[in-house]
Structure 1
Amino acid sequence: MARGTTKPLLRRHKRKTAVRNWLDLPNDLTFMIFSRLTTFDILTSVQQMCHHTIDRSCGQLVDISIEYFGTDNLLKYIIDSQGKLRRLQLVQCFYTIFDEGLCEIAQKLPLLKEFEIILCKHITCVALEAIGRGCPLLKSLKFNHNGHSKGDNEDAVAIAQNMPNLRHLQLIYGCLDNDGVSAILDGCRFFESLDLRWCYNVNLEGRLRKMCDEQLKDFIEPNTLEGFSGYKFGKLCNANWYEDLEYTYRPRKKMFGHHIAENESQDNG
């Protein structure tokens, strides 16, 4: 007791609150939460959360995925705050990330090794050229479902001419044809794996087939079935689907499209 008083001093104890990590939430639950947010919520609350995370990383961030809420300004803020980024993923930033934004940040990503651009309608060969010039260590590129016109090899040419050290390339629903595939194989001499699922303008035969057989350790053909094992499918809003692209490349050469067809014929037999 304190001197001169008859009542004991009361000490208030702060209640400890549990801090939950959003990364521990299942992907489906995270998507359900984000799908209920309004545009205003996304542009304020979610982006503020991202800014806070970037600030707390103190320049040590090496890997970040931006889904649904990315903008050119947010990208610029991230890159200006970080000097060690190794992996960057952009998913379903339909009308908020443009060539101009990526061109501005590309030169500030000298250590980037993996880049994924999925369902971003306004990213074209212009940004791919800048990424190739600004990211000399880039080894893996996934450029999928970006809605460009079919029969156009501009993306393929930009990759072939500006990313000579590329090892892994994924062009799901790409608009390239045989000439585009040939340009990529000629320009990227260190290729190990190529995924051309549902690139329906590509018809592998003759010299092109031989190049794929000789240069690639792993190859996923345009006619590969949707149920290809090794990929998990996730449903996005607007009835769009995309793969989370967590395919582990096998150390042996295999033409996956033919492999699946052979397995199915054996099962039916």
Structure 2
Amino acid sequence: MEGGEVGGEPLTGDRHWSDLPRDVLLLIFLKVGLLEVLRAAGSVCRSWRKVAEEEPDLWRRIDMTDHPDGFEAFVLKDPTKLAIDRSGGLLEEFSVECFGDDDLLRYLCDSTSVLKRLCLTSCYQLSEEAIAETAKRQPILEEIQITFGSFSEKVTEIVGKECPQLKSFKFNTKWYDRPDTGPQYEVEISDDEVEIFDEEKIYDDQEALGIAKTMHQLQHLQLIGNRMGKKALKAILDGCPHLETLDIRRCYNVIMDADMQARCARLKTIRLPGDSVDDYEFEADADQDDSSDVEESYDEDGIPYFRGRLDRLGIVYSLAENIGKCVIL
């Protein structure tokens, strides 16, 4: 490829970007991320565009979470459908943040039936009916992550019934910085046990009981910020005999007394209600600020570019130079 400029730097004849082997291009594209492939890498030259458009292996795992916050994210809905199309029915992992809705999940289900991993973050426009339909139409789902959303307590039972092969389930919500405090009283939960309740706390066992009732093959469970109590956690431990890891950070209604600690002793890993959340990747106290100074425009294929950032083609070329030389030499 000769002539032209990228990022203000002329393209000279000694840069044979169009001659890079397919495997090297795939490595470059995976390093820069699929959003960058849609926005820039596929426009470098004909050979790069061919790989970007006609290699379904590149699109087996689609992650649409690295994007501007707020309303700007919704301009990525159509490009996401384009990415799904390019997977050629081989899509196995799909992650979306903010702009996931019923229409997008239906499009996903119409395009693949081999989905194994589904991650939905802050998809407040997504209905429980769409989640149920997706779970039903993706029979080999093994991992589901739902972080922040507007769903009733029945969603866990729905997912569990429709996904019998589910091995990993994350159903996280926002939490308070510290436990609620207030006058306490005892409630009998069995013939010989009582649970201490706080008048100011809000208990909700239904999500956890839905898991215990339906997700019997579960190996990994994360319920950060859940309002379940001790009774519901006991039900999960009884109903999920294969459970290996459990993350109940910020589940302040769970009292880890001696009995509960003994029940959890069989687990390989457990994160307790008061454990640190410093390694948690999401903000959990307040909604993200919708304000943004990022402006969007579109290329000839309708793929959005975001101004005010580093030149995307320049980034791609820099990575190509470093990766290509290492592989070829």
TM-score, normalised relative to structure 2: 0.59
Query: 1:74 maps to which residue?
Result: 104
Alignment of structure 1 residues 74-93 onto 2, 5 Å: 74-93=104-123
Compared CA separation, residues 21 and 235, structure 1 to 2 (3 A) = farther
Unaligned runs of 5+ in 1: 1-12, 241-269
- Whether the 8 Å contact between 1:123 and 1:146 is mirrored in structure 2 is no
Would the alpha carbon gap of residues 172 and 232 (structure 1) be closer, same or farther in structure 2, given more than 3 Å must change? closer
Greater relative contact order (CA < 8 Å, ≥ 6 in sequence): 2
Q: Distance in 1 between matches of 2:277 and 2:108?
A: 35
| Cα distance in 1 for residues equivalent to 2:89 and 2:103 | 18
Residue in structure 2 matching 1:238, options 259, 267, 287: 287
Q: How does 1:153-232 map to 2 (within 5 A)?
A: 153-213=205-265, 215-227=266-278, 231=279
Q: Using the alignment, how far apart are the partners of 2:86 and 2:163 within structure 1?
A: 25
Cα deviation, 1:104-130, whole Å, max 9, x if unaligned, reads 22111111111000011x223322112
Q: Structure 1 CA distance, aligned partners of 2:239 and 2:215? A: 8
CA contact (8 A) 2:121 2:147 kept: yes
CA distance in 2, matches of 1:46, 1:172: 28
State the Cα distance separating 1:238 from its structure 2 match.
2.8
Matching of residues 139-158 of structure 1 within 5 Å = 139-145=167-173, 150-158=202-210
Change (3 A) 1:155 1:234: closer
Pairwise CA distance, 1:209: 1.7
2:88 aligned residue (47, 58, 73): 58
% of aligned pairs identical? 31
- Determine the C-alpha separation between the residues in 2 that align with 1:155 and 1:199: 13
- In structure 1, how many angstroms separate the alpha carbons of the residues matched to 2:131 and 2:102? 7
Distance 1:126 1:235, change over 3 A: closer
Contact 2:228/2:253 (8 A) holds in 1: yes
CA distance in 2 between partners of 1:87 and 1:234 (Å)? 19
Matched, 1:117 2:146: yes
What TM-score does the superposition give when structure 1 sets the normalisation length? 0.71
Q: CA deviation at 1:33?
A: 4.9
Q: Is the 8 A contact 2:65 2:97 kept in 1?
A: no
Q: Is the 8 A contact 1:93 1:119 kept in 2?
A: yes
Deviation at 1:23, TM superposition (A): 6.5
- Which residue in 2 is equivalent to 1:34? 68
Equivalent residue letter for 1:93: C
- Alignment partner of 1:107: what SS? helix
Question: Structure 1, residues 231-254: CA drift from partner, whole Å, max 9, x if none?
Answer: 3535588359xxxxxxxxxxxxxx
Q: Give the direction of change, closer, same or farther, for the CA distance of 1:183–1:46 in structure 2 (3 Å limit).
A: same
**1:73 is paired with a residue of what secondary structure?**
helix
**CA–CA separation in structure 2 for the residues paired with 1:104 and 1:32:** 26
Cα root mean square deviation, aligned: 3.1
Residues 62 and 85 in structure 1, CA contact (< 8 A), matched pair in contact too: yes
